[in-house]
Amino acid sequence: MTNALSTRLDFLWAGLLKHGQTGGIVPSQRFLIAKMIAPVPESYRGQIIELGAGTGALTLQLAARCPGARILACEINSILVRGIKRRLTTAGYHGRVEVVSGSAELLLSEIGQRGMAKPDFVISGIPLGNLGREKVGRLLDAIQKTLGEGGMYIQFQHSLLDQKNIRARFQHTRTVPAFLNFPPAVVYYAQR
């Protein structure tokens, strides 16, 4: 089985079993991924946190784009975590990309406890629309507290329903459409 087919089947299976976690049954395409990682300079050498890593498509592109960066990818779905680790090892990125299996809220609360520097970028594919209002609020608060001063939170969604929640925590927010993605999406660039 080809790697691309294996990736899609992993995501389809995870999406069917736990749709609330994945938010879809089709992984994000290259058009959306390009918009998500565009603000991160290729020469960036700091810490990047990725929440809701899914199949690792964005993780792999980010690792290729920013060879000096340290990437900590978080995914709650264990089926997808196994696939991400396998793809990272195959691509030769396993040593500088750490994959954590668990909730984003827990990871964000542990960042300070791990002695890690505050990241300049938090990139999220978590389906906010599938979470309750309180959970979205707690997650956005944790992201805002975790980011370094002047850091950027990048989030994609398939609707504008959480725009107000994001803007309430990040004054400097802009949205960019990703019409070529299936389904179409919007990317939030929110600066701390």
Find the CATH number of the domain harbouring 182. Answer: 3.40.50.150
For 65, the domain range is 3-191
What is the model's pLDDT at position 25? 47
Taking only the tens place, the pLDDT of each residue in 42-96 is 999 999 999 999 999 999 999 999 999 999 999 999 989 999 999 999 999 978 8
Taking only the tens place, the pLDDT of each residue in 93-136 is 978 899 999 999 999 999 877 777 899 999 999 999 899 999 99
What is the model's pLDDT at position 125? 95
Q: Per-residue pLDDT for 15 more than 90? A: no
Count of structural domains within the chain: 1
CA distance 146 to 140: 10
CA distance 49 to 52: 10
CA distance 62 to 65: 5
